């Protein structure tokens, strides 16, 4: 009798535990998106031609088009995308924290970064260059020694200056390239260095046209990859498939023309997946 009572109580307790578990599981499945699926993508918000938040709140640029194409292949429509700003210095951390599903933000594939994150791609090859005021006489990397040079914290551009291009330049690292650009215009710095794809986008803006110019130097090879969390092998394969399709169906060419055409940027042909130009 005593034993039977104990069994009944245990059974009730067990049932309760099971139903609570079932309830919380159900809640977890729906959390965050109210049931509809969303994908969060990291981009730049201040790089015209690559990743730009427009005054009306929409997003434009080659990185945005690549990111949107990938999302579509993964089964997400444009309205399922949540765009998140990922500044250069925050990209590895944003992936590690799980803030974003992937990053398409002028993000060069490097061995150092590959210690912390994985990359799909590459999907573009660009080169480091300088942007200076129209009247400036800087024509080569070594002209920068002793000059005030601006770049962005956590970028390969800043690292390359210190390591090779002009170790004696007075390097100032800001948070974004648009802050550097303001510095060039105000005279606070003499030059801005980063990828020519980014600089061409700035130089083509109405408010900067005729005031700044690119030096036209190919100071490095930057292979743009899609950043993903370390070990996300399945996602890497899916993104690589999407990128291959984007090239073969002509969407890649269409996107480079639409985004780099206005800046007259002479882009390189589409790179092969897994092929890094050193």
User: Which parts of this chain interact with ligand GLU (CB under 6 A)?
Assistant: 88, 105-108, 152, 155-157, 194-195, 222
CB of 252 to ligand GLU, least distance (A): 18
Closest-by-Cβ residue to ligand GLU is 155
* CB 244, CB 28: distance < 8 Å: no
* CB 61, CB 50: distance < 8 Å: yes
Residue 169: CB partners within 8 Å, gap ≥ 6? 144, 145, 146, 147, 148, 149, 161
Nearest to 45 by CA among 186, 221, 177, 195: 177
CB of 116 to ligand GLU, least distance (A): 13
73 vs 110 by CB, closer to ligand GLU: 110
Residue 179 burial (CB count, 10 A): 16
38 vs 230 by CB, closer to ligand GLU: 230
26 vs 201 by CB, closer to ligand GLU: 201
75 φ/ψ angles, rounded to the nearest 5 degrees: 100, 15
38 vs 218 by CB, closer to ligand GLU: 218
CB of 58 to ligand GLU, least distance (A): 21
Strand residue runs (E) in the chain: 39-43, 46-47, 51-53, 59-60, 81-85, 102-103, 117-126, 128-133, 148-152, 170-174, 191-195, 212-214, 222-229
CB of 229 to ligand GLU, least distance (A): 17
CB of 215 to ligand GLU, least distance (A): 16
17 vs 153 by CB, closer to ligand GLU: 153
């Amino acid at each position: 009798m005593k034993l039977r009572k104990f069994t009944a109580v245990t059974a009730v307790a067990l049932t309760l535990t099971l139903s609570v578990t079932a309830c919380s599981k159900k809640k977890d499945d729906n959390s965050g998106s109210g049931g509809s699926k969303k994908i969060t993508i990291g981009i730049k918000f201040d790089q015209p031609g690559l990743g730009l938040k427009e005054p009306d709140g929409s997003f434009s640029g080659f990185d945005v088009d690549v990111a949107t194409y990938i999302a579509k292949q993964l089964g997400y429509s444009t309205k399922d995308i949540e765009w998140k700003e990922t500044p250069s210095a925050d990209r590895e951390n944003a992936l590690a924290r799980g803030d974003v599903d992937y990053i398409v933000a002028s993000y060069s594939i490097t061995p150092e970064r590959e210690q912390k994150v994985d990359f799909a791609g590459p999907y573009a090859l660009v080169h480091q260059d300088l942007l200076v005021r129209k009247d400036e006489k800087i024509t080569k990397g070594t002209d920068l020694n002793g000059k005030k040079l601006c770049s962005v914290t956590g970028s390969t551009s800043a690292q390359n200056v210190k390591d090779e291009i002009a170790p004696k330049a007075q390097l100032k690292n800001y948070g974004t390239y648009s802050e550097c650009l303001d510095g060039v215009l105000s005279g606070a710095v003499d030059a801005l260095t980063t990828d020519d794809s980014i600089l061409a986008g700035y130089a083509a803006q109405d408010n900067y046209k005729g005031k700044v110019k690119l030096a036209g130097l190919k100071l490095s090879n930057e292979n743009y990859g899609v950043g993903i969390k370390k070990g996300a092998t399945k996602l890497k394969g899916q993104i690589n498939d999407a990128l291959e399709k984007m090239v073969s169906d002509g969407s890649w060419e269409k996107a480079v023309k639409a985004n780099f055409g206005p800046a007259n940027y002479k882009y390189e042909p589409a790179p092969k997946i897994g092929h890094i130009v050193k």
